[in-house]
Amino acid sequence: MAEHVCPWWIGYLLASPVRKLVHDPKKILGPYVSPGMKVLEPGPGMGFFTVEMAKLVGPQGKVLAIDLQPKMLEVLRRRVRKAGFEDRLDARCAQQTKLGIDDLAGQMDFALLFALVHEVPDQERFLSEIARALAPGKKALFAEPAGHVSREAFERTLATAERCGLRAESRPGIWRSHSAVLVRT
């Protein structure tokens, strides 16, 4: 699945509460995630956004978090359990070349693709899997770190997303990120 995978121990830095000063999960996710939704988060790391999504989807919703690294998922499960939302979480380990979400075709209401797509060697396959999982008209928030991914590379990925059935609808401002809201066509 990934050409360059973020080392699991970096997950502790990315999940730090200090990060909320610049990437507040509630502010970033609030416009897109609501009670009862089924949301998909590939590459959740140790759950920086996952816990807030589990809170936002409420008791009737579900968060599907998929990561390539079992250690990331282990810490993520612990954080979600500690927050009291373990019944809202489905955590899966991805395969090396695919997410393994064929069973979810057209079932997801939202996907969060945050600082992840640049790590995927076959972006077309990855984005096609995301598009298939989303119901028509549903959205994905796609963001990449501006210091790590050039504007040109981000635009190329947006073109790939379009070919896969994910049309850029808007460009929300997220600190030090290139970002777009994608809609499943």
**Model confidence over 60-109: pLDDT tens digits?**
999 999 999 898 899 999 999 999 999 999 999 998 889 999 999 999 99
Task: Tell me how far apart the alpha carbons of residues 13 and 169 are, in angstroms, rounded to a whole number.
Answer: 31
Taking the C-alpha atoms of residue 165 and residue 106, their distance in angstroms, rounded to an integer, is: 12
Note whether residue 4 is domain-resident: no
Confirm whether 6 is domain-assigned.
Answer: no
**Per-residue pLDDT tens over the stretch 29-54:** 999 999 999 999 999 988 889 999 99
Answer whether residue 9 is part of any domain: no
> Which residues are 95's β-sheet partners?
none
Q: Residue 15 above 80 pLDDT?
A: no
In the predicted model, is pLDDT for residue 2 greater than 80? Answer: no
Q: Is residue 81 part of a domain?
A: yes
The residue type found at 155 is E
Domain holding 81, by residue range, is 24-184
Q: What is the DSSP letter of 95?
A: P
Phi and psi, residue 24, nearest 5° = -70, 110
CATH number at residue 91: 3.40.50.150
Q: Does residue 19 lie within any of the structural domains?
A: no
Global pTM reads: 0.88
Asked, for residue 12, whether it belongs to a domain, the answer is: no
Query: CB of 172 within 8 A of CB of 141?
Result: yes
CA distance 101 to 98: 8
| Distances, alpha carbon 112 to alpha carbons 33, 40, in Å | 10, 6
Q: How many domains does the chain have?
A: 1
Residue of higher predicted confidence among 11 and 34: 34
- Rounded Cα distance between 34 and 47, Å, is 18
**Structure tokens, 69:** 């690294």
Residue 13 falls inside a structural domain: no
**Antiparallel, parallel or unpaired: β 108-114 and 62-67:** unpaired
Q: pLDDT for 122-136, tens place per residue?
A: 999 999 999 999 999
| 3 assigned to some structural domain | no
